[in-house]
Structure 1
């Protein structure tokens, strides 16, 4: 079979077939009387073997070794190809992410594209100082900032990113939403902290969902952010924060603000008293719960404090007595 027909049947160009011949990779077994290359069935089979190996990413030199060395085993080479393919996929995913970021920003011209790319390089710098400078130097798209928030471990850079995201507006909450589904509790916590600085309905809804997170380091910030917005859905989590610390003071203040709602005041007092009565509550927990009663508005916690002043736990009784006297003194003024 002559080279032209081989090219048509195999899909390999005549030029490439000549290149294979010059390399000794696929040499036609014969020549016609006129000196033209003539390929046998075995030669064509070898061409298909070469093309199949090329499709796996092997170089022509590797293919020659594979086909001509009887002692060659493919396992090591295939393992290297897997590693190389994974590296290319990572690079392609990174490129796709950059392209999507640029597209989401809706650039008006190539100068705008160049600024976004420069910002991407800055945020990808191994230097925390350089990343922080990149955040503060230019107005960045919310989508890009949200992605950076979820991966930023440095607290100072993370704070700058949250600040910039809150100023950027746009789809910040939507950009943070995937972080709440992460298997990494650290990523979920970063998402919640950033959502806490976004004051829109989408952010509030995502924070409410985060109250069910299995990790207290994620639930806690979500509860504090929601409590600051007056969301009573945070009450159970805030009660837990008071009992467990370390954000007990802030949580107690928020419970006090929420207790200003007539339909919630009595419920919050009852929940605090119930936790105080828990036989498993230690001295430190009961002290924090007692202190939280003092944050309740008006006199709604006074009866509970008077009762605690007679508590068998002396430190709790002394604290409750002092808080009762302070409250009664305010009433008499």
Structure 2
């Protein structure tokens, strides 16, 4: 969602009717508003500790605004999808995104779908209940829902707690490819030059201006898609060879039986990530630098007391290594200032 694409309470659809209502990127106004009217008191608080800011989404200042932003659905090539945009009235509520998402999805029912969303871990918890409350024309069958894959964009993934979130990482989802999942964030830039104008418009001017802007942006992407894909293909071939060599060299350093066990555990997790043990999550905390240093100092002192070792210099091996690491860190900071 983008909360910069606002609109003041200027005019209304009766005085300023939307001419291209539902014809382009915005969903049809009347059925959308009728659906939202049944969800006036929907409060969705986040249970993900990394998303405390979402807890206040429904309480943001909205006085004087007819809408506080827009939500949008784009494809992996950053094309704004048909009927994939909707106005937001009180922050980024699930009911808004449910309607917008299924409106865009109904035009491409035959395509395999991997859905990236900043708060997908929360949004999908009750997705079946949400879909059941949608208008019949927008409802997705249970079979279709089970075939959908869910992910969090790489930029936002690190804002979530680690436990239970490997299943949403684009690094670990088979078939996801080397994408970052942040397509929509790059699409908002095209609206920035006109938001100061559209927020003062009535419903017709607001929708038409944004529809025209997105149509032009989509056209430019389609025209340049062949050149872009050719460039990406050449880069992928080079990267594939390098990554394959690195992977082979890394794999050869482990016992084959151990690798087989790991792959079996990974296969089980990929089939049922909700119930199987997460192979990508460290189940015990790694020791800190101070803990390692303390352990080595204890071993050093024990060896000296047992007369098993003596030092020819004023500095011990542990202190020497620690000083070296400090110098290395200072050099790194100096070179990156």
What TM-score do the two structures reach when normalised by structure 1?
0.23
- The structure richer in helix per residue is 1
- The structure richer in strand per residue is 2
Say which one has the larger Rg. Answer: 1
